[in-house]
Amino acid sequence: MAGTALDARAILSQLRAGTQLGPEALNWFAQALGRGEISDAQAGAFAMGICRAPLDSAGRVALTCAMRDSGKTLQWDVPGPVLDKHSTGGVGDCVSLALAPALAACGAYVPMISGRGLGHTGGTLDKLEAIPGYRSEVSLERMQQITAQVGCAIVSASDDLAPADKLLYGVRDVTGTVDSIDLITASILSKKLAEAPEALVLDVKVGSGAIMPDRASAEALARALVQTANGAGCPTTALLTDMSQPLVTAAGNALEVIEVMETLTMTGVTHALWELTVQLGGALLFDSGMTVTREQGGEEISKALSSGRAAEKFGEMVAAMGGPTDFIERWRDRLPGASVQRLVFPEQKGFISQVDTRALGEIVVHLGGGRLRGSDRINPGVGLSQLAGIGEEVGQDRPIAMIHAASQAEADRAEDALVAAYSVGPLPLDPPDLILAQIAGDA
Ligand code: URA
């Protein structure tokens, strides 16, 4: 469309004709979205057009950068690299809570803008807000101050970053256009890149608890994310990781914080949480040039965890965000619990062969640990703990899980759903691999 003045109608007509939009048109549309000059009808037509005429990789980079530039982009004056991580979400995925302070303990700066629970998946902010006093809604200025002082700040999104995404996401939600790799990529990355990170790591989940349950679509998304972020100048690696079962043995807000604290304070390390934190953190330290290899990066993260330095950073962040100043010493007393706790045993002895992880996430939501409507208040103490993993033996002396509920009636409902979510077979089997693939910048 060189030489012609751009306008929404002309761009949408091009899309309708199935023509690939050039960077100029994509940039114009995203900027106009951010300025509030595009109607919902036009945004819906745009989203549908992209679904029908997918972008090439240059187009994805152009759309992502234009959406990033539709609002503020942060500037930093800190003595180490600014790093961040994004996960596509799952059940029992509390890695951000361990990774951000571990990176801070290694000398990086982590402004981690995170989300709340979505559907059956838990949200990092809801987990942190189980800590009394923790308020994730702070201004961008305060977030930058805390990041500079402590090394990490896990906070909620700001309207000032990537406003084009906020508008487009709302429209996609009601026009059946959420499920597009181009639009998901631009949406996730525009917000992350607006923080101006020097490297990014992406945890793309695969399995029954993931948003993309099958490996092929998760891998296609991971490749698009990595190519686009690198194309936008941000060194990025993605790990494809297992979500055929919850990552840790708990699902629920305070219960997952307990598991993180047990790992950070070395009072009860969860192997999968440790391993994924090390692998994601190792990739970031390498991609930002802090270490010469990924393995060295992983070793630095391991040391930050085992020395207790990551735990100290977590405590400093909690205090700076309004939580208790003695959280690291008194976390067991500070976290809320549930009035009913019930162990659930399998109908027959055997080995866990399969888990409907999405169903486990739904159980937590229905116990009150997530939202059925946007306005719902979360009960931070409810959820599931002691979850048995694939390959584990269960029977009358080893339960499937413990339910934490607000009432006996809610525990009854959760118990039925829990038993249905687990398949138990007669033969032992190996647990699934945690890390399925690594997709680096040159992929
Ligand atoms: N998360 C986002 O931020 N955007 C999407 O489109 C999907 C997941």
| Catalytic member of 64, 70, 87, 302 | 87
Q: How many residues does the chain have?
A: 443
302 CA distance to ligand 1 centroid (A)? 30
Q: pLDDT at position 3, please?
A: 47
Q: Do residues 188 and 67 touch, judged by C-beta distance below 8 A?
A: no
Is 321 found in the same domain as 409? Answer: no
The residue whose C-alpha atom lies closest to atom 1 belonging to ligand 1 is 188
Is 371 found in the same domain as 266? Answer: no
Is 367 found in the same domain as 314? Answer: no
Is 353 found in the same domain as 282? Answer: no
Taking each helix axis as running N to C, give the angle between helix 57-68 and helix 163-175, from 0 to 180 degrees, rounded to the nearest 10.
120
Give the side-chain half-sphere CA count within 13 A for 236.
Answer: 27
Is 364 found in the same domain as 319? Answer: no
In a domain, 415, yes or no: yes
Is 324 found in the same domain as 256? Answer: yes
In a domain, 65, yes or no: no
In a domain, 374, yes or no: yes
Q: pLDDT at position 1, please?
A: 47
Is 252 found in the same domain as 356? Answer: no
Nearest to 187 by CA among 10, 64, 47: 64
- Count up the domains in the chain and report the number: 2
Determine whether 192 is exposed, middle or buried from the number of CB atoms within 10 Å of its CB (0-12, 13-18, 19+): buried
Determine whether 77 is exposed, middle or buried from the number of CB atoms within 10 Å of its CB (0-12, 13-18, 19+): exposed
Q: pLDDT at position 443, please?
A: 52
102 CA distance to ligand 1 centroid (A)? 25
Backbone angles phi, psi at 50, to 5 degrees: -65, -35
Instruction: Please give the residue range of the domain that contains residue 369.
Output: 340-425
| Catalytic member of 127, 166, 172, 358 | 172
Q: Is 285 in the pocket of ligand 1 (CB under 6 A)?
A: no
Is 257 found in the same domain as 345? Answer: no
| Catalytic member of 60, 192, 205, 358 | 192
CATH code: domain of residue 326: 3.40.1030.10
| Catalytic member of 191, 223, 294, 358 | 191
In a domain, 52, yes or no: no
Q: What does DSSP assign to residue 251?
A: B
Q: Is 67 in the pocket of ligand 1 (CB under 6 A)?
A: no
Is 252 found in the same domain as 387? Answer: no
Residue 191 catalytic? yes
Rounded to 5 degrees, what angle do the CA atoms 345, 348, 350 make? 95
Q: Is 188 in the pocket of ligand 1 (CB under 6 A)?
A: yes
The residue to mutate among 116, 124, 169, 175, having the most atoms of ligand 1 within 8 angstroms of its beta carbon, is 169
In a domain, 238, yes or no: yes
Is 318 found in the same domain as 201? Answer: yes
205 CA distance to ligand 1 centroid (A)? 14
In a domain, 242, yes or no: yes
In a domain, 66, yes or no: no
Is 368 found in the same domain as 402? Answer: yes
Is 212 found in the same domain as 359? Answer: no
CATH code: domain of residue 360: 3.90.1170.30
Could you read off the pLDDT tens digit of each residue along the chain, which spans 443 residues?
Answer: 444 578 999 999 999 998 889 999 999 999 999 999 999 999 999 999 999 888 999 999 999 999 999 999 999 999 999 999 999 999 999 999 999 999 999 999 999 999 888 788 889 999 999 999 999 999 999 999 999 999 999 999 889 999 999 999 889 988 889 889 999 999 999 999 999 999 999 999 999 999 888 999 999 999 999 999 999 999 999 999 999 999 999 999 999 999 999 999 999 999 999 999 999 999 999 999 999 999 999 999 999 999 999 999 999 999 999 999 999 999 999 999 999 999 999 989 999 999 999 999 999 999 999 988 878 899 999 999 999 999 999 999 999 999 999 999 999 999 999 999 999 999 999 999 999 999 997 65
In a domain, 226, yes or no: yes
- What is the three-class DSSP state of 296? helix
Q: pLDDT at position 17, please?
A: 92
Q: Is 202 in the pocket of ligand 1 (CB under 6 A)?
A: no
Determine the atom of ligand 1 nearest the C-alpha atom of 178. 6
* Residues with Cβ within 8 Å of residue 342, at least 6 apart in sequence: 402, 403, 405, 411, 415
